[in-house]
Amino acid sequence: MAGNNGNGMIAGSNLEKMLRAGHFAVTGELGPPTGSKKEVIAEKAEHLKGVVDAVNVTDNQTAVARMSSISVAAMLVDMGLEPVVQMTVRDRNRLAIQADLFGAWALGARNLLCLTGDHMTFGNHPEAKGVYDMDSIQFLGMMRDMGEKGVGQSGDELEGAPTFFLGAAANPFAPPYEYRPYRLAKKVQAGAKFIQTQCIYNISRFKEYMQRAGDLGLLDDVYVMAGVTPLKSTGMAWYMANNVPGLDVPDDVVDRMRAAVSDIPKEDKKARAKAQREKGIEICAETIQQMQEIPGVCGVHIMAIEWESAVSVIAEKAGLLPRPTV
Amino acid sequence: MKKGSWVQNYPGFLEKLYKFAEGVFLGLDPVWSALGYDTSEKLIKPGEDLFKTIIFDCNECGQCVLHYTGMTCPMNCPKQLRNGPCGGTRLNGHCEVHEDMKCVWVDAFERSQRMPLYGHEILDIEPIHNWRRDDESAWINMLREKDGTYEDSEPEKLELADKKFWE
């Protein structure tokens, strides 16, 4: 890996070790509750333990106010699960981001995903003022300098600088398509060591994107983890295809979901739901297997939205269990 | 929501105009220096704002990057992103926030490809914004950078293995 000083670990996290060792890494996702109900965390975490190498903790996902990602990350550390702290630039300025991340490191978080964040208008506080003091690329640059030079954004030396294993998101499925690989290049140059992509359903477009990223010389410098989300129902597939900006769900995927219940009478709602879930898991596991064949894909990020129990089934089906130890 | 103008669809003309204006403006530096940059700013700012607002729907950030961004003002992006589009661009190329508005970066990228002089700069990494420059004259700030009054960071070049796209 260029730029990583040979075998020099940055954060020494399990995720970093796993990727460096060349294992096909697996991350999951945990969405914190929309209040203080702590039990939810333990319940969701239980589904992911031993199944994934690290767990992303979302930061006010879809711009809905939730328990903070750092507090949940600290709870996961206590439970023996490794968190990937997600942080957006939507809700915090450079002072708050740094302050919170100093604390996150002190509480044991070692992986950080630097994001822009969904716009406020998508969530439950559309009247809120967006911060956007910086963008995700500048955020990465700030954290890289922190790790490498021991300085904050001001340039002042820190009393202990966090050296997070830095990650970023990438979306190959949104226009302008030709520009997307360059945006990835910017993120890599700004300090991203791993990438978690938007959910992949359009596999041919993803392959083109990876090909271009390879041509630009990026894949030697960054670990790309393919994002996947199991579909729960035809309704969800249709909704994602038509109403979620930045997602590309081809018709054949929606058709496959629909075909899963074509023989089951409409009245038998239970059987229909079960058949759709099974099909969603099957498609997801298949996608993961296809991802393993694509040069430069180093792992998979399974985002089972409000469906954490599906992750172990998917991982098992895709042949990713048991997880290696490093 | 950005409005912009039809002139923006001639980015090749606009970048030439910019280059010419920059030459003239920098050539007149002895005049601006003699007046003092603060006084010059008062003289220049109204015209600068009027022109940039009509043509680019300028947001007066005081750190103009138009020729880096396809002569398209990135501060019209609802997230004010200066380094490229977010992941929410709709499949039809429109903004995730304003359905009727084309993504600022879809326009910016398309236009930059019709800009032989500065088009490649859309690959540069823009540094963290200095919000104290809000409502200042970006033209005068160019001179303040030159004489060291301001020390804002410069954009960083992107290092790529394959540059043929832009050559």
pLDDT tens readout for residues A203-247: 999 999 999 999 999 999 999 999 999 999 999 999 999 999 999
Chain B positions touching A116 (Cβ under 8 A) are 79, 81, 86-87
C-alpha to C-alpha distance for A148 and B127, rounded to whole angstroms: 18
Give me the pLDDT at residue A1, please: 38
- Assess A133–B contact: CB distance below 8 Å, yes or no: yes
pTM value is 0.96
> What tokens does A169 get?
């998101």
Instruction: Name which of A136, A153, A245 is nearest B90 (Cβ-Cβ).
Output: A245
DSSP-derived secondary structure letter, A323: P
The residues pairing with B94 across neighbouring beta strands, listed in sequence order, are B102
Mean pLDDT value of segment B116-130 = 96
Q: Do B123 and A170 touch (CB under 8 A)?
A: no
Chain B positions touching A90 (Cβ under 8 A) are 79
Does residue A28 belong to any structural domain of this protein? yes
Chain A positions touching B128 (Cβ under 8 A) are 94, 133-134, 138, 141-142, 153
Complex ipTM value: 0.96
Residue B114 confidence (pLDDT) above 90: yes
Mutate to test the interface with B, among A114, A119, A145 (most CBs of B within 10 A): A119
% of chain B with per-residue pLDDT over 70: 95
Q: Do A217 and B110 touch (CB under 8 A)?
A: no
Does residue A263 belong to any structural domain of this protein? no
Contact A313, A242 (CB under 8 A): no
Å between A2 CA and nearest CA of chain B = 13
Give me the pLDDT at residue A165, please: 98
Dihedral Cα A50, A56, A61, A66, nearest 10 deg: 70
Give me the pLDDT at residue A8, please: 76
Residue B139 confidence (pLDDT) above 70: yes
Instruction: Name which of B86, B126, B160 is nearest A216 (Cβ-Cβ).
Output: B160
- Assess A314–B contact: CB distance below 8 Å, yes or no: no
Chain B positions touching A134 (Cβ under 8 A) are 128-129
Q: Do A174 and B162 touch (CB under 8 A)?
A: no
Distance of CA B124 to the CA centre of its chain: 12
Chain A positions touching B88 (Cβ under 8 A) are 118-119, 174, 245-246
- Assess A39–B contact: CB distance below 8 Å, yes or no: no
Element of type H or E holding A223: strand A223-228
> What tokens does A123 get?
């969530």
C-alpha to C-alpha distance for A67 and B70, rounded to whole angstroms: 40
Residue B165 confidence (pLDDT) above 80: no
The residues pairing with A228 across neighbouring beta strands, listed in sequence order, are A302
C-alpha to C-alpha distance for B109 and B107, rounded to whole angstroms: 6
Contacts of A285 (CB under 8 A, 6+ apart): A314, A317, A318
Apex A297 CA angle, A179 and A321, nearest 5: 145
Does residue A274 belong to any structural domain of this protein? no
- Assess A190–B contact: CB distance below 8 Å, yes or no: yes
C-alpha to C-alpha distance for A184 and A176, rounded to whole angstroms: 13
Residue B155 confidence (pLDDT) above 70: yes
Does residue A51 belong to any structural domain of this protein? yes
Tell me the residue range of the domain where A43 lies: 14-232+297-317
Does residue A78 belong to any structural domain of this protein? yes
Contacts of A119 (CB under 8 A, 6+ apart): A63, A90, A130, B78, B79, B88, B96, B97
Mean pLDDT value of segment B35-57 = 97
CATH of the domain at A304: 3.20.20.220
Contact A201, A290 (CB under 8 A): no
Contact A41, A75 (CB under 8 A): yes
Give me the pLDDT at residue B163, please: 62
Residue ranges of chain A whose pLDDT lies below 50: 1-6
Strands A83-88 and A297-302: unpaired
Element of type H or E holding A300: strand A297-302
Alpha helices by DSSP H, listed for A173-298, are 180-189, 203-215, 234-243, 251-259, 269-291
SS3 A165: strand
How many distinct structural domains can be found in chain A? 1
Does residue A322 belong to any structural domain of this protein? no
Give me the pLDDT at residue B4, please: 78
Stronger pLDDT, A120 or B164, i.e. the higher one: A120
Contact A66, A38 (CB under 8 A): no
Does residue A279 belong to any structural domain of this protein? no
Give me the pLDDT at residue A5, please: 40
C-alpha to C-alpha distance for A10 and A147, rounded to whole angstroms: 8
Give me the pLDDT at residue A227, please: 98
Give me the pLDDT at residue A126, please: 97
> What tokens does B82 get?
């200066």
Give me the pLDDT at residue A247, please: 95
Question: In chain A, whose CA is at the least distance from the CA of B132?
Answer: A133
What are the C-alpha distances in Å from A314 to residues A32, A278, A283, A308, B98? 22, 10, 9, 10, 36
Element of type H or E holding A141: helix A136-149
Contact B130, B83 (CB under 8 A): no
Mutate to test the interface with B, among A120, A127, A173, A182 (most CBs of B within 10 A): A182
* Long-range contacts from A211-217, C-beta under 8 angstroms, 24+ separation: A212/A181, A213/A181, A213/A184, A213/A185, A213/A296, A214/A295, A214/A296, A215/B161, A215/B162, A216/A181, A216/A182, A216/A184, A216/A185, A216/B160, A216/B161, A216/B162, A217/B160, A217/B161, A217/B162
Mean pLDDT value of segment B158-163 = 80
Average pLDDT, chain B: 94
What are the C-alpha distances in Å from A154 to residues A15, A145, A150, B69, B158? 30, 11, 11, 26, 23
C-alpha to C-alpha distance for B159 and A1, rounded to whole angstroms: 16
The predicted-structure confidence for B62-78, as pLDDT tens digits, reads as follows: 999 999 999 999 999 99
**Residue of A276, A285, A274 lying closest to A311 (CA atoms):** A285
Cβ-Cβ contacts under 8 Å between A and B: the total is 117
Chain A positions touching B84 (Cβ under 8 A) are 137, 179, 182-183, 186
Q: Do A174 and B90 touch (CB under 8 A)?
A: yes
Give me the pLDDT at residue B161, please: 78
Does residue A255 belong to any structural domain of this protein? no
Chain B positions touching A188 (Cβ under 8 A) are none
A227 by Cβ neighbours in 10 Å (0-12 / 13-18 / 19+) ranks as buried
- Assess A215–B contact: CB distance below 8 Å, yes or no: yes
Give me the pLDDT at residue B45, please: 97
